[in-house]
Amino acid sequence: MNRSSFSISGEEFARLADYIYRRTGIFYDENKRYYVEKRVFDRMKATGHEKFRDYFLYLRCDASGQEFQRLVNALTVNETYFFREYDQLKCFAEEALPEMLKGGCGRERPLRVWSAGCSTGEEAYTLAIILLEMLDSDGFGFEVHATDINDEVLQQAEKGVYEQRSVREVPSVYLEKYFVPVYGKYCLKPVVKEKVRFYQVNLLDRAQMQKMRGFDAIFCRNVLIYFDDRARREVALSFYESLRPGGFIFLGHSESMSRIAPIFRVRKFKNAIIYQK
């Protein structure tokens, strides 16, 4: 079997896409067919399957769930980097954060921030660096929770070791303060790593989402674009329950919570538009 001759029929693709959607909420339409095919081919080759129908049966009947997780991992690797969408981060640090601190968080209890769909950890560690800069010298407590459906990227994130391309937007003062260069790579210092907790969460798993409570801010940027309208609404409602009253949610620049579920208040700050419970 070779890649050039491999293809999935329209019916087979629809069945696979539906199966993935029902288990993860991630929706792949016909435009993503080539993308999905390539990764399915790699998994078929790794598991020794010549025909798609045999692999699909194996995928569904694997009681351990390991093969489905490996396929999901292959489908959900996304490129990210530190200090991405800087204007939003500036809004978080200089405009939203002071409002959150007025409610007593940081001193009476830790400020809690959630990076949902954290991928390899750049966003979560960026938030930790910002909070260390803004809060640590004043004795405020905080914690950053970082989740993803892909267990391989979570393992990579926990290592805290990054290539040059991931740190290309890190201000030089922070690069020197919070990273150690080692053989062409950049290792985060323990002061940052100890502030972030990584664990696996499926945003469409209601039992898991019910455990995600008491957050002051949620970052879910460029994640909901992979869901359909129904799944987006379900996740939005879960996020609403996860936030404390007055808590904020940050989406990607191209995303609008108002079009998903009009339950959040739109806040137009100087540096960004964000949403508040």
Hey, what are 268's tokens? 């137009």
CB-side exposure of 198: number of CA atoms within 13 Å? Answer: 25
The SS3 call for residue 199 is strand
| Spatial distance between the Cα atoms of 95 and 270, rounded to a whole number of angstroms | 8
- The b-or-e profile of 77-113 (16+ CB within 10 A means b, else e) is eeebbbbbbeebbbbbbebbbeebbeeebbeeeebbb
205 is annotated as an active-site residue: no
Q: Select which of 148, 216, 221, 232 is catalytic.
A: 148
The position carrying tokens 């560690």 is: 125
Rounded to whole angstroms, the Cα distance separating 169 from 33 reads 33
Token couple for 80? 């990210």
Which among 265, 245, 258 is positioned nearest to 100, based on CA atoms? 245
| Candidates 23, 39, 84, 244; catalytic one | 39
Q: Is 148 a catalytic residue?
A: yes
Catalytic positions, written as ranges: 39, 148
